[in-house]
Amino acid sequence: MPFSDVPGQSRAKRFLGRLLRSDQVPHAMLFSGMGGSGKSAMAQEFFKRLNCQAPGDPDPCEACASCLKIRNGTHPDWVTVRADGAFIKLDQIRELRERLRFQPFEGKWRGILVEKAHTLREEAANALLKILEEPPRKNLFLLTTLEPQMVMPTILSRCCHVRFQPLEREELAQILAREAPVTEAQALHLARLADGSMERAKWLADETRMGCWRETVERLQNLGNLTMLEFFPLMAQWVQQSESLDQEFEWFKLWMRDLILCGLPGQHESYLTPDEKSRKAAMAAGIDTLFELYEAIENALLHLRRNANKSLVLEGVCLAIKDRLYGKSCGNPVPQGRQSLSF
């Protein structure tokens, strides 16, 4: 797609356009933002524009040999490094370093896209840092990340940091209505659930996954009804059956955000429509407790992305919700010997 057709991100586009016009492109850039906000697409379009043989302002021509090869994934100077399993490993960076000994094959620039730079193992991050400290000429490093705070600080300091914002709900709904087999009403509902992520919205457009979302919310709403004998087997089953626990924790955040909105004056719009019992529990728990639970969910998600034990993370968060949200309203507190984990 043309540079200007990447959805949203007007601020990032203006900044990147100024770089292109000034002809002062940094050797390394970090694009940070939520999944599905267009980071990798923008990185590819930026590189395409740099190598375009008949560039516009700011778009590449989309017709020259370089543009066509990049679009088709056959350009020899466009290199992608992504996690092998859960992490980007040292051998991958060593292989990249060998490739950088040579000049770009065809283009004016070689582009190196490092996706999810927060997944770099420590030794791989140190090896990449050495390259960034003495970067070879005409090589542009484009790093993307969901979690900039998890990227090695010395790598961050050598990158031009471009922050990507969540897509506006209305824009996301319009794109979904055009590109996915959904009605306008369904597109708006999906846009609310996706919380600004195009990737997540398209993922949710699958009816099977929408069923997973509904099941997740029902499980959260049922935590207050569980005895401790029922709780732990259910957690084990949940982890075993989950297609994407990361995604479910994003839904935890949206659900908890709804509960927070229930306690704020003048806030009537809901993303996931908590049930009446959850609303009453939220009012009884108080706004401070709800914010603390939201923070606990965010921290738990960070632990998941650092490859923490899934069962322990899920148990910790669900115990916290059961104890601090439902314990005060349903007369079913967590026994003193099994207090919820803190993150």
pTM for this predicted structure: 0.72
What pLDDT does residue 97 have? 95
Confidence of residue 133 (pLDDT cuts 50, 70, 90): very high
Write out the two tokens for 57.
């302002």
Greater confidence, 275 or 340? 275
Per-residue CA distances from 161 to 29, 142, 276 (Å): 6, 10, 43
What pLDDT does residue 332 have? 47
Mean pLDDT of 30-34: 93
Instruction: Determine which of 43-52, 85-94, 177-186 has the lowest per-residue pLDDT on average.
Output: 177-186
Greater confidence, 280 or 145? 145
Confidence of residue 270 (pLDDT cuts 50, 70, 90): low
What pLDDT does residue 77 have? 94
Q: Is the pLDDT of residue 267 over 70?
A: no
Confidence of residue 311 (pLDDT cuts 50, 70, 90): very high
Q: Is the pLDDT of residue 336 over 70?
A: no
Mean pLDDT of 80-94: 93
Q: Is the pLDDT of residue 333 over 50?
A: no
* CATH class, 3-163 region: alpha beta
Read off the pLDDT of residues 144-185 as tens digits, 9 standing for 90 and up. 998 899 999 999 999 999 999 888 888 888 888 888 777 888
Q: 46-60, 95-109, 323-337 — which one is most confidently predicted on average?
A: 95-109
Domain ranges of the chain: 3-163, 206-338
Q: Which residues are CB-neighbours of 285 under 8 A, at least 6 positions away?
A: 324, 325, 328, 329
What pLDDT does residue 330 have? 46
